Amino acid sequence: MQLKNFYPKLGILGIATLMALAACSDDNSVPLINNPDTAQQNPQPGDSQPGTDSTKTTTPADSGKVVTPADSGKTVTPGDSGKVVQPTDLPAEGPITLPQGIGVLVDDFEDGDGVSKTGDGWYTYDDQDNSGASVITTPINEEKYPIATPVNNGSNYAFKVVYSLDKGDYEFDPYVGWGLQVAPDEANARFGGITYWYKGGAHEVHIEVTDVLDYDVHLAKIPASRTWKQAVVRFKDLVQGGWGEEVTFNAKNIMAISFQAKGNRSKVITDSLFIDNIYLQDTSEVEKDKPDMEINDPVIPKVEFTEAEITVTNPLQAKAAKYLDKGVSFTNWLENANGKFKSFEFGEKDIKILADNGFKSIRLPIDLDLYATNRDAFVKGTDAELKFDDDTLFMVLDSFVEWTGKLNMSLVIDYHEYDNSYNSTSAKDTNYIKMMAEVWKHVAAHYAENTREDVFFELLNEPDMSEGKVTAAQWTKAAQAMIDAIRSVNTKQTLLFGDAKWYSISLLAQRTPFTDDNIIYVIHTYEPFVFTHQGGSWTDYASIHDIPFPYDKAKWSTISGDFGVNKSSKSGVKTAIKNYYKTGNKEAIMVEMLKAKKWAAKNNVPVILNEFGALNLRSTAESRINYLTAMREICDTLQIPWTHWGYTGNFSVIENGKLIEGLDKALGVGK
């Protein structure tokens, strides 16, 4: 039976049927296919040309002749100078098991080639077309297509990739990937999950469907394992990356099964990964959720304090209440990675929309050091003076100063390093600290003669925002350097300071205030995080959904899986959901914020909340209104001015130019 011409036209079930027929046939002429389908590249969010070279297959360089098993029964890995590697010569590890059931074995790699049981060839790709410098290599055959690698894990072959993750000039996290295409088939709707064995680095498994048109694929994140481990992924637990249009997963539209390893922007990572025994589970084989929680009565903490315990007589308290209450941050623009100004995505019309709807303050997150043209040379010590692109920097800042003044809105210039360049390493670099101080000195000098008292300088948003490893002592040293630099040229502007670990309340409550008497202190809170960040692709709560606020027995379940908990969910996520009956209420949030307010009153300094909000991805509109109402009531009670994180987008107060329904009462705003 000749199958080659049939493969591109048949789905997984069709191929499986033909393979079964071939196995029973007297015709032993079924050939191996050494020419895989062309690979679909997998661009990341922010690509300037999504889909560019979408039919290009990336393969490793030919570093040594490889003889396929179809030719000689032997496999030679590149770089081994012709040395034949037999699986039995390798150290034994495993054994792994071969899935048995009514699903479909996609590939067990036992034929040693680069073609799956379904007749689709494996491909690889990297980020180099997007200016990255990542590299992925596999053994290859004479046609330079990827093939399997000998192993001794209970089977003879597995698919191995070796990779280096290097962002190069790519503005997002570096990546490499590999996979195979699948023919969409109505019959594929019966599949409910995928299992495979792996050993090596952390990665994602992507189940790509034709419905997704913007590369925001459905995926599951798999942790690293240095011994062979089985990954079991239910399709119901898949989540999208979060940057594109939300699409309901439909197994009948599967068009590719792929894997991706991702790095980070701060260092180069080299690792490897083996994949073996890939199996699509029939829905009847997928593990069902089981009861693992109790439905408890809500536990509401008692909040007690005296008026004296929250009273701040410092004149800056009145200033904060006047100018920094009912604020909104302009998000997802100038604070982004490589977010140097290109055009006014937000401008005067947006400020007017907010002003017309009763908001009083604009927080402008902007990565100020992106406008230092020789930043890296200055930090390295090769340039003695920091230089700036003033035309761009002050076109942006001056425009917002003008527009907010015109519309009677205050302005916070928020130094917001989204790229996490201030981290646990650079925090020890005196030149880096000096660079940040010089940035602020330059901006402060520009506004030294400005007569407005409602333009504020926020020293640095959430120091080490990605990792949170910078200590309070390190951050204090850097902050003092910035304060000193600003005050050498500008004594008028009020400064905003938040503590390490994402503007931690607990760290602030242990702090001795700075001697500068023109500083307002800042906290952030997104508690309960399991509610506010459910569905957030960048968090551990990406698969979580339908957590209500406040906690409600009538809306709860004994099954954590009903809220999106799955095998890949971290233990902290499961614990947060199980304990939500104690944390999912206004009083629990207030207890934490009261710690900051009592500290402020004790030290007679003002404190504000300039980030809070709830993602609109997996929660109901009713719950979000309940949460925002609670936050406003807490702030009113504790006399804490507030700024909401989000103008538009997934944390939004305005949609299509209008205030979201219900926010007028929830936040005390509106026309």
Residues taking part in catalysis = 462, 611
Helix (H, G, I), strand (E, B) or coil at 249: coil
196, containing H or E segment: strand 191-200
Q: Please say whether the beta carbons of 201 and 134 come within 8 A.
A: no
Instruction: Centre a 10 Å sphere on the Cβ of residue 449 and count the other Cβ atoms it contains.
Output: 8
DSSP per position, 65-94? ----HHHHS----TTSTT----GGGSPP--
Query: What residues contact 143, with CB distance under 8 A and at least 6 apart?
Result: 34, 35
CA dist 657 → 222, 264, 318, 599 (Å): 40, 36, 31, 39
Cross-strand pairs, 121: 115
- Pseudo-torsion of CA 633, 636, 641, 643, nearest 10°? 20
Say if CB 503 and CB 479 are below 8 A apart: no
For 294, counting Cβ atoms within 10 Å of its Cβ (0-12 exposed, 13-18 middle, 19+ buried), the class is: exposed
Q: What is the DSSP secondary structure assignment for residue 525, as one 8-state letter?
A: -
At what angle are helices 390-406 and 348-356 packed, to 10 degrees?
30
Q: How do strand 203-209 and strand 225-234 relate by DSSP bridges? A: unpaired
Alpha-carbon gap, residue 54 to 311, rounded angstroms: 62
Burial (CB count <10 Å: 0-12, 13-18, 19+), residue 531: buried
CA distance 216 to 222: 18
Task: Say if residue 45 is preceded by a cis peptide, omega within 30 of 0.
Answer: no
φ, ψ of residue 108 in degrees (nearest 5):
-110, 0
Residue 448: what are its φ and ψ, rounded to 5°?
-60, -30
Q: Give the whole-angstrom CA distance, residue 18 versus residue 325.
A: 68
- Give the residue among 22, 589, 52, 642 at the shortest CA–CA distance from 329: 642
- In angstroms, what is the C-alpha Rg of the chain? 28
532 SS3 class: helix
Side-by-side strand order, sheet with 175-181 = 123-126, 175-181, 254-262, 203-209, 218-222, 239-240
SS3 for 374-405 is CHHHHHHCCCCCCCECHHHHHHHHHHHHHHHH
Angle at 247 between CA 245 and CA 253, to 5 degrees: 130
Residues 161, 273 contacting (CB under 8 angstroms): yes
> Mutual orientation of helices 430-446 and 472-487 as an angle, nearest 10°?
40
